[in-house]
Copies of this chain bind each other. A is one copy, B any other.
Amino acid sequence: MPHMKIEEEIKQSVFKTEYQKAYINVVFTAGYLEQAQAALFKPFGITLPQYNILRILRGQHPKPATISMLIERMLDKTSNASRIVDRLEAKELVTRKQCPADRRTVDVMITEKGLDLLKQMDGLEGGKGTGIMNLTEEEATQLNSLLDKIRS
């Protein structure tokens, strides 16, 4: 498992600039964090996108959400909420039924089983156990402002 500087990780001799290195470093570190989180999730039988949808649904509970509301709130806006809901429905973690008021839309709701699963998973939240806690709180703040600046 990775415990190295980015140069060693990817066996690339030298980076031309700090920018190039930072770019690759952000992408690489995200992969690292996602992989660590996936490992934590595995025992529970759902993936991170599925978890994120369940969390949104819990936030709405007992009100239903529509697919477009899910897309709006998801981290990755272009992802395909319909199909993720398919899989959650197959696992009986959510229900889906046509909304009578606007028949184009679908009411998605988390089930008791879904709420139970989330309860079990509370504590995995926010990257705990993934390496993000190696930072001091001050460093985390600093990192946040640097990342915000990249997207500004």
- A interface residues (Cβ-Cβ under 8 A, vs B): 2-6, 9-12, 15-34, 72-76, 125-128, 130-135, 137, 139-144, 146-152
Chain A facing B: main interface SS: helix
Q: Taking each of A6, A20, A140, which has the highest tally of chain B beta carbons within 10 Å of its own beta carbon?
A: A140
- Copies of this protein in the assembly total 2
Residue pair B26, A33 in contact (C-beta under 8 Å): yes
Residue pair B25, A27 in contact (C-beta under 8 Å): no
Bound state CA distance, A17 and B139, in angstroms? 12
Residues of B with C-beta under 8 A to A22:
127, 132, 135, 140-141, 143-144, 147
Residues of B with C-beta under 8 A to A126:
15-17, 19-21, 23-24
Q: Which of B12, B15, B33, B72 contacts A150 (CB 8 A)?
A: B33
